[in-house]
Amino acid sequence: MIILGFESSCDETGVAAVCTERGLLAHALHTQIAMHQEYGGVVPELASRDHIRRVIPLTRQVLDEAGLQMSDVGAVAYTAGPGLAGALLVGASVAQSFAWARHLPAIGIHHLEGHLLSPMLADPRPDFPFVALLVSGGHTQLMRVDGVGRYELLGETLDDAAGEAFDKSAKLMGLGYPGGPALARLAASGDAARFDLPRPMLHSGDLDFSFSGLKTAVLTRVKAAEAAGGLDEQTRADLAAATQAAIVEVLAAKAVRALKQTGLKRLVVAGGVGANQLLRARLAAALKPLKATAYFPPLALCTDNGAMIAFAAAERVKAGLAVLDADAPHSFTVRPRWDLAEIG
């Protein structure tokens, strides 16, 4: 069965076609980063309007690239939450309209389930069970994954998400939006050892995280540098490197602890921060002594995309967890706040 999937929860419009037997057939993405950049963050109303503009051309592109007719599509999937309400409504209404017009079943997908399963789009594909480190702009969670729909929360952030820590620290250093990639780029020419930043909750003995204190520590360093004559380029790079090192060290240490605690040998990293090269290198090194393996989504599928939504729907269909009812009413709702533990 071919599933057409739509992602529109934040500032990326993603569309993809996935076949339950053959996997990913085609995907297309439009990122709104350039549009939101001048405001220093995502403007929800602009995001919604841009999703409306992009979604149909992207759908045509995906069908063309996959060599599909609309009549080949067997089901439609969309991100039902969590995310920005107006933005979510665009993907949901387009998907439900498509399903209504073609008399197809429509499947609402949890955005984080999309991220969680996205490393299975890579080759080699991890087998269940595994520990998942979900690190995005809005979430930082460690989960035990025993199968599709079988997710157990092991630990999570008590305040800021890892991506948020990157973004907020980057903003303090005068870097643009989104801060994560910009901070990582600047860190490449910096010396992490110059600043001793805190590693929040590194030794807390559990699997929870806290990143808001790190942001405060970065602010203190920025103010001190400014008072001492200005934040020069090398100081900014050194501070970026130190910030990245602190976040990565905590993420890697807790991921290792989760593997030890569960006795599992596979770690799957998903979400935008999974694109971070230092995190990838650190995890690879930290997992070696445990004889454990780290799996990452293909770099292009780390941040938000339609492929992970269509793929999660396909996996739910194969696991018998999706209701495939073309006669179901096409009324719909979205859930801007939605706990992954609530889905079955």
Calpha distance 45→101 (Å, rounded): 27
| Binding range to ligand KG4, per CB under 6 A, among 100-108, 161-169, 260-268, 321-329 | 161-169
CB 116 within 8 A of CB 143: yes
Given candidates 113, 167, 238, 315, which one binds ligand KG4 under the rule CB under 6 A?
Answer: 167
Q: Is 50 annotated as a binding residue?
A: no
**Between 105 and 137, whose beta carbon lies closer to ligand KG4?**
137
Contact call for residues 144 and 154 (beta carbons, < 8 A):
yes
**What CA–CA distance (Å, rounded) separates 104 from 325?**
7
Binding to ligand KG4 (CB under 6 A): which residues in 279-338?
A: 303-304
CB of 183 to ligand KG4, least distance (A): 7
Tell me if 105 sits within 8 A of 325, measured CB to CB.
yes
Q: How many whole angstroms separate alpha carbon 195 and alpha carbon 243?
A: 9
**Residue labelled with tokens 């007719």:** 69
Site for ligand KG4 in 101-140 (CB under 6 A): 136-138
Residue 181 binding: pick among Zn ion, ligand KG4, none (C-beta 5-8 Å cut-off by kind): ligand KG4
Burial letters 57-73, b for 16+ CB under 10 A, else e: ebbebbbeebebeeeeb
Answer yes or no whether residue 59 interacts with ligand KG4 by CB under 6 A.
Answer: no
Q: Flag whether 167 is marked binding.
A: yes
Applying CB under 6 A, what is the total number of residues that bind ligand KG4? Answer: 19
To the nearest whole angstrom, how small is the minimum distance from the Cβ of residue 248 to ligand KG4? 9
140-147 and 2-7 beta bridge pairing: unpaired
Measured distance CA(150)–CA(136) in Å, rounded: 20
Residue 135 labeled ligand binder: yes
List residues binding Zn ion (CB under 5 A): 136, 304
What residue numbers does the annotated binding site for substrate cover?
134-138, 167, 180, 276
- Which residues are known binding-site members for Fe cation? 111, 115, 304
